[in-house]
Amino acid sequence: MSATILPGAPHLQYRGDALYLEDVRLADLAREHGTPLFAYSRASMLSALAAYQRGFAGRNAKVCYALKANSALAVLQVFARAGCGFDIVSGGELERVLAAGARGSDIIFSGVGKTRREMRRALEAGIHCFNVESEPELEVLSGVAMETGTRAPVSLRVNPDVNPLTHPYISTGLKGSKFGIAHKEALRAYQRAAALPGLRVVGIDCHIGSQITQVSPYLDALDRVLDLVTAIEAAGIPLQHIDFGGGLGIVYNAEQPPAADALWQRLLARLDARGFGERQLMIEPGRSLVGNAGVCLTEVLYLKPGEQKNFCVIDAAMNDLPRPAMYEAFHQIVPLQATTAKPVTYDVVGPVCESGDWIGRDRKLAAQPGDLLAVLSAGAYCMSMASNYNTRGRAAEVLVDGATVHLIREREDFADQVRKEKLLP
């Protein structure tokens, strides 16, 4: 018997009572590599990417993976080899994608606070474009480009002021957000960009938020952006590409996000209807390419019955899985070995000294100390946001490919953590 347990995670299945990722039994992985351990399915990442690529087949379009979601070098290699471009937000991410084999021309650089040093390095690498977020940034970038004897390719991130219908911390396209250039100021900013000697205007972009599970906010943003394209081009500034920003949300619990190819169908229909179907198009998905490709394996340390709550203390914590503490996010938690024992309701918590260190609340589990659990949908914004809080070493990571397992990051030990520290004389 085999059954997929999470939509969007086609390679995570129980075979009999044992949970598998592709052809690897996860309990074997946990025993070999220890816990907490992140495991990612290569096939899941590639099938998520393929859904985007199918959606725009035959068009001049490109996926630029937003590696903030998961920046492991081996994950970047998987996407680079599959023809992805990359959306970076720091000099560190630039070095990562170059190390993973990306070409400069496949890179776009987003973010509100690029430093001069980061700009210089990105110009040297010959990136496709800077997604600029303010007029002061335009001025600085023009100056840096002139110093290096080049013209920086720019797209302006405009703020379409639409509600993405997601968590407020990951909504970015509303008025009052620190991101982007206000819709009504965009034309003036483009005129400024076109006049600056160190810049070359190449496109327009927007990003309205993350974990978006409906098509309508994308269509609303697209309409607002196309209105601007019309106005900007009427002012004599041609735009080669349109970039829609981040990708779709994923299923953590009972969400029903559209499929990536269905999103494209709707976007392309709107673009065609408004006469923009031939443009170069870009999208910067992060979560939807990796989120449900990954799980975090963890061991039950203690069961702690209480008057009001029962606690199941595991060896993974908010430093490994920060999303519940930061956004009250939901991640499914399932046993690596299914059982018919009677479940008890627990708050599943980590060892960190914070009440906010919970991974799941009111979960029904038939767990015993020593049992192994998987926290699902852990491929995006988990390891990339992990910290050393409480001097906990960051977890190890493996990439599963069929029955083959690649250790892609060793577990951090104490020496790794204090390498840059100095004792007083």
Q: Just list the catalytic residues.
A: 353
Q: Which residue carries 């076109």 as its tokens?
A: 194
Judged by beta carbon, residue 42 or residue 287, the one nearer ligand LLP is: 287
Binding status of residue 245 toward ligand LLP by CB under 6 A? yes
Q: Which residue is nearest to ligand LLP (CB)?
A: 246
Q: Taking the CA atoms of 400, 401, 404 and 406 in sequence, report the sign of the dihedral they define.
A: negative
Number of residues in contact with ligand LLP, rule: CB under 6 A?
A: 20
Q: Which of residues 291-350 bind ligand LLP (CB under 6 A)?
A: 323, 327
Q: State yes or no: 285 annotated in a binding site.
A: yes
> Which range, of 64-72, 268-276, 301-309, 405-413, touches ligand LLP by CB under 6 A?
64-72
Residue 224 backbone phi and psi in degrees, to 5: -65, -40
**H-only helix segments in 148-286:** 186-195, 216-234, 260-273
Determine the 3-state secondary structure of 401 from DSSP: strand
Binding status of residue 41 toward ligand LLP by CB under 6 A? no
Q: State yes or no: 327 annotated in a binding site.
A: yes
Judged by beta carbon, residue 44 or residue 288, the one nearer ligand LLP is: 288
Q: State yes or no: 287 annotated in a binding site.
A: yes
- Considering only residues 44, 77, 142, 211, which one is a binding residue for ligand LLP as defined by CB under 6 A? 211
CB neighbours of 193 closer than 8 A, spacing ≥ 6? 132, 138, 154, 156, 199, 201, 237
Instruction: Return the H-helix or E-strand segment holding 414.
Output: helix 414-418
- Distance CA(130)–CA(128), nearest Å, equals 7
Binding status of residue 170 toward ligand LLP by CB under 6 A? yes
- Considering only residues 6, 37, 69, 122, which one is a binding residue for ligand LLP as defined by CB under 6 A? 69
Q: State yes or no: 381 annotated in a binding site.
A: yes
Binding status of residue 62 toward ligand LLP by CB under 6 A? no
Q: Which of residues 364-383 bind ligand LLP (CB under 6 A)?
A: 381
The first and second tokens of residue 391, run together, are 């001097």
Nearest distance, CB of residue 245 and ligand LLP, angstroms: 5
Judged by beta carbon, residue 14 or residue 86, the one nearer ligand LLP is: 86
Q: Which residue carries 């492991």 as its tokens?
A: 72
Complete DSSP assignment for 22-83: TTEEHHHHHHHH-SSEEEEEHHHHHHHHHHHHHHTTTSSEEEEEETTS---HHHHHHHHHTT
* Residue 192 exposure: Cα atoms within 13 Å on the Cβ side: 17
Q: Tell how strand 18-21 and strand 24-25 pair up.
A: antiparallel
Judged by beta carbon, residue 35 or residue 210, the one nearer ligand LLP is: 210
Binding status of residue 284 toward ligand LLP by CB under 6 A? yes
- Considering only residues 19, 26, 48, 66, which one is a binding residue for ligand LLP as defined by CB under 6 A? 66
Binding status of residue 286 toward ligand LLP by CB under 6 A? yes
- Considering only residues 198, 217, 246, 257, which one is a binding residue for ligand LLP as defined by CB under 6 A? 246
Q: State yes or no: 323 annotated in a binding site.
A: yes
Burial 52-80 (b: 16+ CB within 10 A, else e): bbebbeebebbbbbbbbbbbbebbbbbbb
> Which range, of 36-44, 63-71, 116-124, 360-368, touches ligand LLP by CB under 6 A?
63-71
CB neighbours of 302 closer than 8 A, spacing ≥ 6? 311, 312, 313, 369
Binding positions for ligand LLP, rule: CB under 6 A: 66, 68-69, 87, 110, 170, 207, 210-211, 245-247, 284-288, 323, 327, 381
Annotation: binding site for pyridoxal 5'-phosphate:
247, 284-287, 381
